[in-house]
Structure 1
């Protein structure tokens, strides 16, 4: 039997820039793992819809698929649609944990910060904002706070966490808070996967508030591919034994530390 297919599942608007970024992620993963079938599906009525992607796998006689939610802020929960959509009984589908706010994402943020500083001609920073979209589950919010502390410890700089509702206000407030502490060279790390309107609002608000650099969305990277493949591996294990793979809080702490 062939390996289960990977279906990368993303929500977000029907926007060309978002679609281009997601397609680049799927292509990058396919290039790294030519032995696997990689597909991209979208939620909220955006093409390609999940149901159509699964139907195409059935038409190709694919018997198993793992859905990997491309959600960078939730640690365990996923869209209800992934559990309720109807598909052929000829394919066994499981949903993995979301990518989530894993510690590896800080490595991508470091790269993006360096790129943003280079673009702006900046030489140093004295404060950081970790910006992320709202909508995380309880565990995800806890991990986001931990990532901010880890980033602060790693760089020995104050880090403000900004979980933004999509209008940029929380990001602007985080920058303002650091400026009130006397910080004048503030960079904003954006834990956004694609350039959604929420990301654009977050980035513009940060610059208006006085940040000297704002990172681009994470997009495709080796670190992200490794995380996706790790989530896929757990889902594939469930397909093997038919028993959902459950991780305790202690297991998650160890994995995400």
Structure 2
């Protein structure tokens, strides 16, 4: 029996830059794992629609698939629209946990910060902002706060968390808070998956507020691919067991101060 297929499920606007980034992530994952069948599906108005992707898998006699939400701010819940799809009589489906704000995203943000500082010719920073779009679940919000603390401890710098509503106001407010503490060389780490309109508004607001560097979206990354494959492994185990299981969430047991 072949391994279950992977379906990367992404929300967000149907914009060319967003679609290009998502297709790059999917193609890169496929290149790294040619033994797996990997598809990209979009929720909302994006194409290809998830129902069409599932129908395509069924037409190719694929028996099982794991749906992986490409959501960086939710830790345990998935879009409710998936609930009506996973009970298909024609294919056995499981929904993995979202990618979420896992510890590994800090490695990606570090890489993106270095790239942004290099582009801007900056030599040092004395403050950081960890910015993410709003819309995650309660556990995701808790983990985001923890990631901000971990990032601060790792770099020994103050880190301000900003959960942005798509206008950039939260990012600008976080930068202003650091500047009021005397910080003048502030870099912004953007926990946005794609260069959506919300990301653009956040980045522009950050620069207007005085940030010396704003990272590019997460986009394609070896760390992201590893996270996706880890979510897939647990989802495939659920299919193997044949019964729903409570998949573990990073750092669920305790929270640091």
**TM-score interval (norm. to shorter):** over 0.9
Q: Distance in 1 between matches of 2:245 and 2:252?
A: 12
Match of 1:245 in 2: 245
Shift of residue 247, structure 1, vs aligned partner: 4.0
Shift of residue 90, structure 1, vs aligned partner: 2.0
**Which aligned pairs between 1:1-257 and structure 2 lie closer than 5 A?**
1-85=1-85, 88-247=88-247, 252-253=252-253
Shift of residue 249, structure 1, vs aligned partner: 6.6
Helix, strand or coil at the partner of 1:84: coil
Helix, strand or coil at the partner of 2:48: coil
Q: Distance in 2 between matches of 1:52 and 1:247?
A: 27
Change (3 A) 1:179 1:22: same
Shift of residue 248, structure 1, vs aligned partner: 5.8
Give the superposed CA RMSD: 1.4
Length, aligned pairs only: 254
Q: Distance in 1 between matches of 2:245 and 2:227?
A: 17
Q: Distance in 2 between matches of 1:240 and 1:152?
A: 40
The 8 Å contact of residues 128 and 188 in structure 1, kept in 2 or not, is answered as: yes
Q: Distance in 2 between matches of 1:193 and 1:143?
A: 17
Alpha-carbon displacement from aligned partner over 1:193-252 (angstroms, at most 9, x marks no partner): 000101001000000000000000000011000000000011000100112221467863
Q: Distance in 1 between matches of 2:47 and 2:204?
A: 28
Change (3 A) 1:86 1:139: closer
Shift of residue 89, structure 1, vs aligned partner: 1.4
Q: Distance in 2 between matches of 1:72 and 1:251?
A: 15
TM-score scaled to structure 2, two decimals?
0.96
Change (3 A) 1:250 1:22: closer
Instruction: Provide runs of 4+ in structure 1 moved above 6 Å.
Output: none
Q: Distance in 2 between matches of 1:192 and 1:230?
A: 20
The 8 Å contact of residues 113 and 189 in structure 2, kept in 1 or not, is answered as: yes
